[in-house]
Amino acid sequence: MAQDDVRAMADEVAALMAQRLGGARRGSQPDLATMIRRRGGALPRRQRRAARMLLRAQAQAASPKLARQMDSTAAARAHAELLRYLRPLGASARWQAGALNVAAAVMMGLLLVGAVAVWIMVRRGLA
């Protein structure tokens, strides 16, 4: 497996981690090592182990001598496992969660305004 293949797999996983778990600064695309350091704790244990395996494979692929000794099937398996975990929660699910958060914030605001209005009415003796 070539260095470019491993780097492409690591970049794809890092991008999916940034989309799903956050941790990327606006306008930047961090590498896998940065994403594991920032948001690796949010992954389940099995996926965290696979992410570390992919990170080791990326480091090995950078050295030509070590790249020949690298177990490419393990890196491909780790990549597939991470994709299987990170892909299902796609853009539509994130959009729905965001819309639900906005709706909850609006409802909480309306509830507070209503509670303050009732409190004022009670204080003035109108209710």
DSSP 57-106: HHHHHHSHHHHHH--HHHHHHHHHHHHHHHSSS-HHHHHHHHHHHHHHHH
Question: Do 79 and 105 fall within a single domain?
Answer: no
Question: Do 113 and 126 fall within a single domain?
Answer: yes
Question: Do 43 and 78 fall within a single domain?
Answer: yes
Question: Do 44 and 85 fall within a single domain?
Answer: yes
Tell me which residue range forms the domain holding 112.
90-127
CB atoms within 10 A of CB 104: 10
pLDDT of residue 104: 97
pLDDT (tens digit per residue) in 31-57? 888 899 998 888 999 999 999 999 999
Question: Do 85 and 96 fall within a single domain?
Answer: no
Based on the number of CB atoms within 10 Å of its own CB, is 14 exposed (0-12), middle (13-18) or buried (19 or more)? buried
Split into its structural domains, the chain has a count of 2
Question: Do 36 and 76 fall within a single domain?
Answer: yes
Question: Do 76 and 121 fall within a single domain?
Answer: no
Tokens of 74: 């393990």
Is the pLDDT confidence value at 86 over 80? Answer: yes
Question: Do 94 and 61 fall within a single domain?
Answer: no
3-state SS class at 24: coil
Q: Are 127 and 114 in contact (CB under 8 A)?
A: no
Question: Do 84 and 99 fall within a single domain?
Answer: no
Question: Do 21 and 61 fall within a single domain?
Answer: yes
Question: Do 65 and 115 fall within a single domain?
Answer: no
Measured CA to CA, the distance from residue 1 to residue 8 in angstroms comes to 11
Question: Do 85 and 97 fall within a single domain?
Answer: no
User: What predicted TM-score, i.e. pTM, was given to this entire model?
Assistant: 0.65
21-25, 39-43, 56-60, 73-77: least confidently modelled range: 21-25
Estimate the share of the chain in helix, then strand, then coil, as percent rounded to the nearest 5.
80, 0, 20
Q: Are 29 and 7 in contact (CB under 8 A)?
A: no
pLDDT of residue 22: 83
